[in-house]
Amino acid sequence: MTVLLEAKNLSKHYRLSHGETLRAVSDVSLVVHCGEALALVGESGCGKSTLGRTLIGLGAPSSGEVFFEGERISSLSDRALRRWRPRMQMVFQDSSSTFNPRRTIGDTLAEPMRIHGRTGIADRIAMLLEQVGLSSSVLSRYPHEFSGGQRQRLNIARALMLGPDLLVADEPTSALDVSVQAQIVNLLRDLRNSLGVACVFISHDLAVVRQMADRIAVMYLGRIVEEGDVLAVLEAPAHPYTRALLNAVPRPDRPLPPSLKGDVPSPIHPPQGCAFHTRCPLAQPRCSQERPELHRIAEGRTVACHYPLL
Amino acid sequence: MEGSYRRVVRAVLTRRDGAFAALLLAFIIVACLCAPLYATLNGLDPFSSDIAGTTVRNGQRVDLMQPNDNPLHLGLSPIGPDWRPGPYVLGADSQGRDVAARVLYGGRNSLLIASSSALFCLCLAACLGICAGYFGGWIDLILSRILDMLWAIPVYLFAISLSVVTVGHGIRLGFITIGADNLLIPIGIIALVYVPYAARPFRARALSLSQAGFVMAARGMGASDFRILWREILPGLMPTMAVLAPLVMALCMLAESALSFLSLGVQAPAASWGTIIQDGEGLLYTRPAVAIAPGVAIVLTVLALNVLGNALRDQIDPKGAAR
């Protein structure tokens, strides 16, 4: 499989007004292959959305590099990056704010094509509306006239207008009802199969991830702690944090295991050593002093833990 | 959102205060536009002195300038108001000109200057506010500090200083020459002094819009900054524009009157409400109507504009109504 997108030692830090630094993403390296679906999972605030945005050039990284088809896009100017935008599109989480309330749906859907001077806009819109399961009567309407699920379909249609090779979907289902979630997940999966578009799927819902993704990267406090094939990781997690995430999913066949103690530490003052050691049930003295690097434990399987479960 | 402007206009007009203000304003504007009608029907020339002229009162021909009935004043006084339709309904001024005609003609200048300086001011303020709010960073820092500094100078002092410099000899910029009596000078000055006041809400709105999801989405699609400003941010500023327009116009009208009263705005022989008040100043004890008539016109217009602006704000931005 050819590499589509590669991030090397990517960090995104925010300088806060009182001189402190919020480390949203620290030293992340990952690869997305052509046509592959990579899931980024983790708790709220672990930096997965920031990582998703930084990957496609919405906000320059503080350090590190992003390569798209071998071209270093992280150092391009805004103007130069615009040429690459059609190749990578984003589906945003909150579909209610990602549409300009003053523009019709038809206008909004046509916008990406107009920006890049494409022709055949009407045909393209008609085709995509059909693919996301909406009729062309939506075009003259305004965003507030739609339900959350319909808006998310339109959101997806807009992201696909330019025929991207990479789609970053930032929690596309988290703002929706459960029944509608399933529709959107099925829609995304069908579109991925028919279009062969690679996908970075950001989620905290492991059930959705299992359906959607080929590979999974688990994030904790701005770092990737475990990465691998989605079924392998979810069947036999190697990192204690991944296991804790899986344990938090209620299952009918077992009582809920004890959950993690404490809260996620602040990304302004991340703990020394392994970021997870303050909450890890298996923590050893070494964990609070030395930060574990991501290392390979099996074919296509990496984990950042001194004492992995495998 | 479609038809939302029509809905707001209807809502404003069905409120008692909004309807009152709109009617009053419409009446004033129509009356001022009809100034030539009053002047020609009564055969008056409101711009040239007519000290030796006569008019008809109670079927008798009388002089416009009459011997003074007040022992404290020497010489002649202009004829007073007679409150009946016809020429000299509000009396004459010290030059024997019809006060009512001058108030109507002066109103055209006052309204013209107030509305065009409000328009200039809002456009300039919107540009600066958008740049500061959208680009942020050092652009915001510099623009905001400059506007703060300008706003720290008392508005009227600033306007008077600018007028004193320009009114005497006009403005010469290369081959562009603006004469001293050109209305563009007071329009430009009044627009300029209220830019810091109007830019602030635009900046705040642009700042919040620039963080909206659809702006991020547009950037992700590859839209240029200009395109984002023009197609995503600017339409969102229209409510701010609509709310500010009457309020800024009221401020501009007051500033215009003040400058014209000080002979720093509209220059003779043209008239505006401010210059007529100045004409009436010397006659305040004998013929107060000369100063009071334009004063009442200013008060009513500013009142109507403010009430209209508040009604618009309540309809467009209900949360701001609590402030």
Q: Is the pLDDT of residue B132 over 90?
A: yes
> Which residue, among A126, A121, A191, A124, has the nearest Cα to A156 in the 3D structure?
A191
Least CB-CB distance to B222: which of A82, A97, A101? A82
Interface test with A, best of B2, B5, B214, B226 (most A CBs within 10 A): B214
The residues near B76 (Cβ < 8 Å, ≥ 6 apart) are B65, B66, B67, B68
Is the pLDDT at B168 greater than 70? The verdict is no
- B46, β-bridge pairs: none
Beta-carbon neighbour count of residue A173 at 10 Å?
24
- Overall average pLDDT of the A74-91 stretch: 89
| pLDDT value at residue A267 | 86
Q: Which amino acid is at B278?
A: Q
Question: For residue B74, what pLDDT band results from cuts at 50, 70 and 90?
Answer: low
Is the pLDDT confidence value at B125 over 90? Answer: yes
The answer to whether residue B232 scores a pLDDT higher than 50 is yes
pLDDT, tens digit (0-9, with 9 covering 90-100), for A10-57: 999 998 888 888 889 999 999 999 989 999 998 888 888 899 999 998
> Stretch B267-273: mean pLDDT, rounded?
83
Read off the pTM: 0.82
Range in A57-66, A175-184, A299-308, B127-136 with the lowest mean pLDDT = A175-184
Is the separation of the CB atoms in B126 and B242 below 8 Å? no
Task: Nearest chain A residue to B212 by CA: give it.
Answer: A97
Q: Which residues of A touch B232 (CB under 8 A)?
A: 100
Nearest CA in chain A to B218: A112
Average pLDDT, chain B: 85
State ipTM. Answer: 0.85
Q: What is the pLDDT of residue B71?
A: 67
Interface contact A85-B1, CB threshold 8 A = no
Q: Are B293 and B105 in contact (CB under 8 A)?
A: no
Structure tokens at A274: 């392994």
Kind of pairing between the strands at A301-303 and B54-57:
unpaired
pLDDT value at B73 more than 70: no
DSSP H or E stretch at residue A63:
strand A63-68
Confidence class of residue B321 from pLDDT cuts 50, 70 and 90? very low
Q: Note whether A58 contacts B217, CB cutoff 8 Å.
A: no
> Over the range A202-224, which residues count as b (16 or more CB within 10 Å of their CB) and which as e?
bbbbbebbebbbbbbbbbbbbbb
Name the minimum distance, in Å, from the CA of A152 to any CA of chain B. Answer: 13
More confident residue, B299 or B173: B299
pLDDT at B322: 40
| Cα B307 to chain centroid, rounded | 15
Give B2's pLDDT tier (boundaries 50, 70, 90): very low
User: Residue B323 pLDDT > 60, yes or no?
Assistant: no
Contact at CB, A158 and B220, closer than 8 angstroms: no
Q: Say how far apart CA B62 and CA B7 lie, in whole Å.
A: 55
Residue B316's pLDDT is 80
The answer to whether residue A115 scores a pLDDT higher than 80 is yes
Q: Is the pLDDT of residue B62 over 80?
A: no
pLDDT of B216 above 50: yes
> Is the pLDDT confidence value at B318 over 50?
yes
